[in-house]
Structure 1
């Protein structure tokens, strides 16, 4: 049975993704703080930003888990087929 090589992200890619995430949250937060509106509107927009970031992480984790489950199921099915073929050759 073939063992798929797990794809590893480079350190540069990981740093870039974290930097982009931190920069985007920081800039959006600065924009909300500097809006010429009442504090309750700023608070509402801050809550919206927080929930959007949280739900984005949740969706990303859910999609990753679903992908890994499908990959595992495919490997199990492949192992079953290989076992059946090896028994058939006897």
Structure 2
């Protein structure tokens, strides 16, 4: 089993579907908040809450992904190698 096949890949169709679903849901929420028969401050509160919910979802997804990658075998193997490459890299060294 090669290392490239060990990491699951998403298809481009899945990516497109996820982007479209996000855009439709965000637009639907914004339109719903805009057309509600509420005062301006109430609309602002709902819009702010919706945006906070979206950013919280992105943060949670990143934390879960990072935690999963840290626990995976490939992540544990690649981390020391990456740290060694960063330690050996000198951007001020003259290239030959």
Same-fold call, TM cutoff 0.5? yes
- Normalised by the size of structure 1, how large is the TM-score? 0.76
Higher RCO (CA 8 Å, separation ≥ 6 residues): 1
Q: What is the aligned-residue RMSD (CA, Å)?
A: 2.0
TM-score under structure 2 length normalisation: 0.72
Instruction: Find out whether 1:71 has 2:42 as its counterpart.
Output: no
Instruction: After TM superposition, list the pairs within 5 Å mapping 1:1-90 onto structure 2.
Output: 3=3, 5-72=6-73
Aligned residues: 76
SS at match of 1:31: helix
> In structure 2, what is the Cα distance between the partners aligned to 1:33 and 1:44?
12
**Runs of 4+ off more than 4 Å:** 73-76
> Which ranges in structure 1 are unaligned for 5 or more consecutive residues?
77-90
- Alignment partners' CA distance in 1, 2:12 and 2:74: 30
Instruction: Give the number of the structure whose alpha-carbon radius of gyration is greater.
Output: 1
Where in structure 2 are there 5+ consecutive unaligned residues? 78-96
